[in-house]
Structure 1
Amino acid sequence: MTRYLLTTWEGGGCVPPELGLARRLIERGHQVRVLACPAVEQAARAAGCEFSPWVTAPHKLSLAPEEDVMRDWEFKNIFKLFEHVLDVFLCGPSDKFAADTLAVLDNHPADVVLSDMMMLGAQMAAEKLKLPSAVLVPNISMRPAKGVPAIGPGFLPMRGPVGWLRDALLTKIGARIWAKGLPAFNRARAGLGLDALPEIFAQSDRADRVLVLTSPSFDFVPANPPANTVWAGPVLDDPSWAGTSWTPPWPESNRDPIVLVGLSSTYQHQQAAIRNAIAALAQLPVRGLVTIGPALDGEAIVSPVDHVVVVPTAPHSQVLAQASLAITHCGHGTTIRALAAGVPLVCMPMGRDQNDTAARVVARHAGVRLKPTAPEAKIRRAVAAVLADRSYTAGAQALRDAIAREAKEVDATALLEQLGSNTRATSPSSRVA
């Protein structure tokens, strides 16, 4: 038996795949303790994990908007948001994340430390104690790389001199912003007796493994990724709060295509977008299921028609097994579950990495992209177009087949087990299935 410490946070879509890996480790006879926001405790214990909360580091008690540390919906400029996140969460308090991690490890020793990509302080703590470690990337890869558009604007790949110039310029701008977090980042490292690093992403180079939890057929994979990085495929578990069963709420005689609407489990000021989606579906011959999620608990969002049903939550994997289309904010979890079911998408990205996830949907011809402010008429036309054009379904089904094939080739849980079987695992050759 190996003892794992999983350090993470209530970031919405990061929780289900990371706890999904924890559950799989427990099923194989290992022990997992989760160190996370108090808001994650119920889900962690439901997965069979032991639990410790962040104490001095920033944390959420719930998914309510007032609990959000970053309040990203208040930022219109993505670069200003980036700087803010570095200051209030990613780098500024990294010393506190490290201190909390060391305190938990002192009271609850572990053999391996697993850290969400955002938990830089926890990664430093593992490095200080010389514990085998893995960084979990529960979405598309965020690391700047040659030949891959910079994260943020949601650009598609562009070849030739213009594309190279565009990517080089944005990468340079991004590097300058990342560098603003370096002083606090390296102060935290110095406080632990660790050497300074030239860039923040170099922290993940100190880990034995970096598991990117998405499909390499979906992501834009660089030609030469770091040697310790593996595209290990998605973990498709639904969040624990979504429930375990779902019954279609329409009459059995209604055979219109099912359209699922899921616009974020965390708060992103998405009420208007949800209402516009409802109005669009109300005018189409579809069966609409609108899940508003826990962050909008208590919101007065209603449907004017019987064939569009609004519910607090539902297990998306079960709905998608019967769906013909999904309208999504393009959080990675909702997006990859839809694609794993072969369901095309109408994407309405609202921020974070969502515009870049949407770019990958468009690049694979598995859906279309709209602005989050798209009016009802534009959403209606997009839904009708994607349902009518079977090539979008074909694109989604091609990704479905690739995800299923890759799942047989790379076992993320086994990669984590290898860390516990060695005193210090050797860095693997990068593998892209």
Structure 2
Amino acid sequence: MSKRFLFATWSGGGAVPPVLSVARALRERGHRVRVLSDRSVHDEVAAAGVEPVAWTTAPQGNAADPEADILKDFEARTAMGAFARLRDRIVTGPAADYARDTLAEVRDHPADVIVTDFPLLGVLTAGEAAGIPVVALVTTLYPFATPGAPPFGPGLAPATGPLGRLRDRVLTKLTQMPWQKGLPALNAARRENGLAPLESVMEAFGRVDRALVLSPRVLDYAGRTFPAYVRHAGPRLEDPAWAGELRLPDGDAPLALVGLSSTFMNQTTLLGRIGEALGTLPVRGLMTTGPAVDPASVQAPGNVLVTASAPHGEALRHAAVTITHAGHGTVVKALAAGVPLVSIPLGRDQMEVARRVEAAGAGITVSKTAPAAAIARAVRQVLDEPSYRRAAQRLASGIAAETATDRAVAELEAVTGLGAAAGRG
């Protein structure tokens, strides 16, 4: 039986393709799907075969254009400053606007389920107010505090012993405190829609029928436990609609695939240092700059082909190593192909993703300020030491098992038979 799904997303760079992958899969199952989103991603939405709908009062941005990016977290001087921009410009600050647009949409086009990228608390508020089941899609590692994992963000190793557990308790409280600055705006959105205020922003993230984590369970810490409404649905491995066709550099030397953020993170200089590093190694480099960086702005040696985009899924079938900012999408695709990594985190969730790769033995992390020689040493180590590829191949087997069936679609179809509050935290 066909159901009506309303998706909601924003111009969030690498978060967009996995959300649209789920939307496409539901459409292919015969369901009706509409996607509330920034106009800048409407071409991607249409390419997924579903109907785009523009936000009207909620923010409109374009993460591929530094001038039109809503967050502009590349301007922040500290990690806390970058976090505050996400909180104030997407998560809580415009919550009333996101709620207003979502409610207007479901009045005009009723939905059986609302499916949203998890930072959009205004959309969650709208679903709760309308009595419609809400499913949050977590497009990275589960980022909230749970037993068996350190506080999310700085890329800490799991705690061992009483001192480690004390560290986690203290840091969890400290990392949750900045969220409270967004509570007045969130509660204003709730009051506007007839809902009782909450005591914390963190509580709001749990007011869903499901939270589907689009990340491999095998990549996260084995001892970690999760709330009952959280389900690991496996990663989405499709390339974005703008990836284009594959062109490989000439020769038969080992291929090093380079891909940093699809959004602007001041990565042009780092791309140049990576190119310089590859120029000292007996490899071929395929460097994809993404929509936010002009390939012509990156100087690279003759053994490195620089291009705006390429289908990473296809390129990885030829690759011996991936050099990346540890963005979740690039890392998961590399691991699904059994390709080890050199991670150079730039911010956001990337330290956590890089930490998981290191903990699994599937790669090395290098500082974003590392000189070309240090990057070259890391690449050489990953290429020369077989244990990295063996670890990546072990993870590839786990990812293959998790993606053998479409768990996200199965969970979403199951939710259509639930009451509006069933499973809500």
TM-score of the superposition, structure 2-length normalised?
A: 0.96
CA distance in 2, matches of 1:345, 1:62: 25
Give the match's secondary structure for 2:34. Answer: strand
**Greater alpha carbon shift after TM alignment, 181-190 vs 413-422:** 413-422
**Greater alpha carbon shift after TM alignment, 100-109 vs 390-399:** 100-109
Shift of 1:47: 0.4
Counterpart contact for 1:241–1:313, Cα < 8 Å:
yes
Give the match's secondary structure for 1:193. Answer: coil
Residue 335 of structure 1 corresponds to 331
Distance 1:177 1:78, change over 3 A: same
Shift of 1:427: 3.0
CA distance in 1, matches of 2:221, 2:91: 24
Distance 1:361 1:387, change over 3 A: same
Find 1:291's aligned residue among 288, 292, 296: 288
CA distance in 2, matches of 1:358, 1:62: 22
Residue 246 of structure 1 corresponds to 246
CA distance in 2, matches of 1:222, 1:2: 37
Counterpart contact for 1:419–1:425, Cα < 8 Å:
no
Find 1:360's aligned residue among 345, 356, 366: 356
Which amino acid in the other structure matches residue 144 of structure 1?
A
Which amino acid in the other structure matches residue 332 of structure 2?
I
Which amino acid in the other structure matches residue 312 of structure 1?
A
Residue 145 of structure 1 corresponds to 146
Shift of 1:192: 0.8
Shift of 1:231: 1.0
Counterpart contact for 2:206–2:424, Cα < 8 Å:
no
CA distance in 1, matches of 2:59, 2:142: 24
Give the match's secondary structure for 1:147. Answer: coil
Counterpart contact for 2:289–2:308, Cα < 8 Å:
yes
Give the match's secondary structure for 1:34. Answer: strand
Which amino acid in the other structure matches residue 249 of structure 1?
P
Find 2:264's aligned residue among 254, 262, 267: 267
CA distance in 1, matches of 2:370, 2:236: 31
Distance 1:425 1:413, change over 3 A: farther
Distance 1:402 1:348, change over 3 A: same
Distance 1:40 1:221, change over 3 A: farther
Residues 168-192 of structure 1: CA deviation (Å, up to 9, x unaligned): 2211111211122112111111111
Find 1:373's aligned residue among 364, 369, 372: 369
CA distance in 1, matches of 2:201, 2:181: 10
Shift of 1:425: 7.9
Q: Is 1:131 aligned to 2:127, yes or no? A: no
Residue 401 of structure 2 corresponds to 405
Residue 10 of structure 2 corresponds to 9
CA distance in 2, matches of 1:95, 1:255: 55
Counterpart contact for 1:148–1:221, Cα < 8 Å:
no
Residue 100 of structure 1 corresponds to 101
CA distance in 2, matches of 1:295, 1:321: 25
Counterpart contact for 2:62–2:70, Cα < 8 Å:
no
Find 2:390's aligned residue among 389, 394, 409: 394
Shift of 1:20: 0.4
Shift of 1:146: 2.9
Counterpart contact for 2:322–2:339, Cα < 8 Å:
yes
Which amino acid in the other structure matches residue 265 of structure 1?
S
Residue 167 of structure 2 corresponds to 166
Residue 252 of structure 2 corresponds to 255
Counterpart contact for 1:63–1:267, Cα < 8 Å:
yes
Give the match's secondary structure for 2:256. Answer: strand
Shift of 1:276: 0.4
CA distance in 2, matches of 1:412, 1:110: 18
Shift of 1:202: 2.1
Shift of 1:308: 0.9
Which amino acid in the other structure matches residue 408 of structure 1?
A
Counterpart contact for 2:38–2:55, Cα < 8 Å:
yes
Counterpart contact for 1:227–1:428, Cα < 8 Å:
no
Residue 379 of structure 2 corresponds to 383
Distance 1:428 1:192, change over 3 A: closer
Q: Is 1:350 aligned to 2:346, yes or no? A: yes
What is the root-mean-square deviation of aligned Cα atoms in Å?
1.7
Residues 65-110 of structure 1: CA deviation (Å, up to 9, x unaligned): 0111111112232123222321222111111111111122222221
Shift of 1:302: 3.2
Residues 189-215 of structure 1: CA deviation (Å, up to 9, x unaligned): 111111122222322332111101001
Which amino acid in the other structure matches residue 375 of structure 1?
P
Shift of 1:420: 2.3
Find 1:320's aligned residue among 302, 316, 326: 316
Shift of 1:424: 4.3
CA distance in 1, matches of 2:192, 2:421: 26
Shift of 1:247: 3.5
Which amino acid in the other structure matches residue 324 of structure 2?
T
Q: Equivalent pairs: percent with the same residue?
A: 43
Give the match's secondary structure for 1:309. Answer: strand
Counterpart contact for 1:8–1:35, Cα < 8 Å:
yes
Residue 196 of structure 2 corresponds to 195
Shift of 1:405: 1.2
Find 1:417's aligned residue among 403, 413, 420: 413
Find 1:278's aligned residue among 259, 272, 275: 275
TM-score of the superposition, structure 1-length normalised?
A: 0.94
Residue 297 of structure 2 corresponds to 300
Which amino acid in the other structure matches residue 272 of structure 1?
T
Counterpart contact for 2:179–2:202, Cα < 8 Å:
no
Counterpart contact for 2:249–2:284, Cα < 8 Å:
no
CA distance in 1, matches of 2:221, 2:190: 31
Give the match's secondary structure for 1:330. Answer: coil
Which amino acid in the other structure matches residue 134 of structure 2?
S
Counterpart contact for 1:147–1:164, Cα < 8 Å:
no
Residues 266-288 of structure 1: CA deviation (Å, up to 9, x unaligned): 00000011000000001110110
CA distance in 2, matches of 1:221, 1:10: 32
Q: How does 1:10-29 map to 2 (within 5 A)?
A: 10-29=11-30
Distance 1:33 1:321, change over 3 A: same
Give the match's secondary structure for 1:66. Answer: coil
CA distance in 1, matches of 2:254, 2:136: 40
Which amino acid in the other structure matches residue 275 of structure 2?
I
